[in-house]
Amino acid sequence: MSKLFKYEKAVNSLLYALQKLGGKTDMHKLCKILYFADQRHLSKYGRSITGDSYIAMQFGPVPSYVDDILKALRGDSFFSSSNEIEPLKKCMVFENRFIIRCLKNPDMDELSVSDIECLDYAIEICKNKNFAELTEYSHGLAWNNTQKDRTISVKDILREVGDDESYVDYIADNLKLQSSFL
């Protein structure tokens, strides 16, 4: 899905989640919210919200591009001094190495009704879970079927929620077709 990544949707999804969680939370929780929101949206509506690819990291699925963006914002990246990161610094800030605080409200025009529905679903699942609980909860079929530090397949993400194989194949083929036009 990497060619399908939607920067504005991803940033506004982060801001939306931060706002719903009282203005700040940790990076781990945000990544899990995006994973479960993208998973649900992919299953229900045939597309992910962010278009990000998820990597099977030690503590669960991590959105690849969002992780890069957040690391740059935190100052842990070659791209931290890039002009492209400057607008993001007006949206959110790291209070410490892990806690992110929003500085502005999300642009709700960037998020569809179905995006918000799935983000709310994921926020509800994740909001009261601590780091260990979120890690365990996100170590499902998709994570378990993927080698550490490798991209989790869209098919396994859909299988994890119980979608049948014909639907799994249809969505995977559709996403492959979409990315070939970009």
**Given this model, what pLDDT does residue 81 score?**
66
Q: What mean pLDDT value characterizes the chain?
A: 93
pLDDT tens per residue, range 62-77? 999 999 999 989 988 7
* Mean pLDDT in residue range 27-55: 97
**Given this model, what pLDDT does residue 80 score?**
62
Classify 96 as helix, strand or coil: coil
**Which sequence spans correspond to the domains of the chain?**
2-180
pTM (predicted TM-score): 0.94
% residues pLDDT > 70 (the chain):
96
CB 161 within 8 A of CB 138: no
Report how far apart, in Å, the C-alpha atoms of 28 and of each of 44, 62, 107, 134 are. Answer: 24, 8, 23, 8
Amino acid at 55: I
**Given this model, what pLDDT does residue 78 score?**
66
Query: Could you give the CA distance from residue 91 to residue 78 in angstroms, rounded to a whole number?
Result: 20
**Given this model, what pLDDT does residue 61 score?**
98
Q: Which letter does DSSP use for residue 92 in this model?
A: E
Q: Is the pLDDT of residue 2 over 80?
A: no
**Given this model, what pLDDT does residue 92 score?**
96
Query: By mean pLDDT, which of 81-85, 110-114, 146-150, 165-169 is the weakest?
Result: 81-85
**Given this model, what pLDDT does residue 1 score?**
46
pLDDT tens per residue, range 94-119? 999 999 999 999 999 999 999 999 99
- Terminal Cα distance for the chain, rounded: 11
**Given this model, what pLDDT does residue 77 score?**
74
